[in-house]
Amino acid sequence: MNISDSICPDCGGLLEVRRQGASQGMFCTLCSWALLTTCLPDFLNDATSYRVTVISGDVDNSAHVQAVASLTGLALPQARALLRAPAGLAFTGLAYEVAPMQETLAGAGLEFRIEPPFPW
């Protein structure tokens, strides 16, 4: 039996599956019956400490500066100064913290490295 063939135990209506974040469930299309559960992604249980290092960034590239500003909470001039620093910009965190950093840095086109290798 497919989930799409499931019927509501209360009214006999069809059930539909909905997912949002870590929650998922079956909802009746006719009445208010629902069955919900939580499905946590594996990376939330990853206790590894990851180090994210920005290898290079262009201080004249607004996407680079805005990405650094959003990750650090700094104003744009301070984020630009941080990108100029010769030591390289580094963040440390667990997988659930590093995943959005990776998305932000990659989305801005910044060159970065994550150690140890990030499987997510």
* Helix or strand run (H / E) with residue 65: helix 62-72
Say if residue 99's pLDDT is above 60: yes
- Model pLDDT for residues 29-76, shown as the tens digit of each residue: 999 999 999 988 888 889 999 999 999 899 999 999 999 999 999 999
CATH 3.30.1390.10 fits 44-115, yes or no: yes
pLDDT at 2: 56
Residue 22's closest CA among 45, 44, 46, 41?
A: 41
The encoded tokens of residue 109 equal: 């086109």
pLDDT at 1: 45
Q: Could you state, in order of their start, the residue ranges of all structural domains in the chain?
A: 3-39, 44-115
pLDDT range class, residue 25, cuts 50, 70, 90 = very high
Mean pLDDT (the chain, rounded) = 91
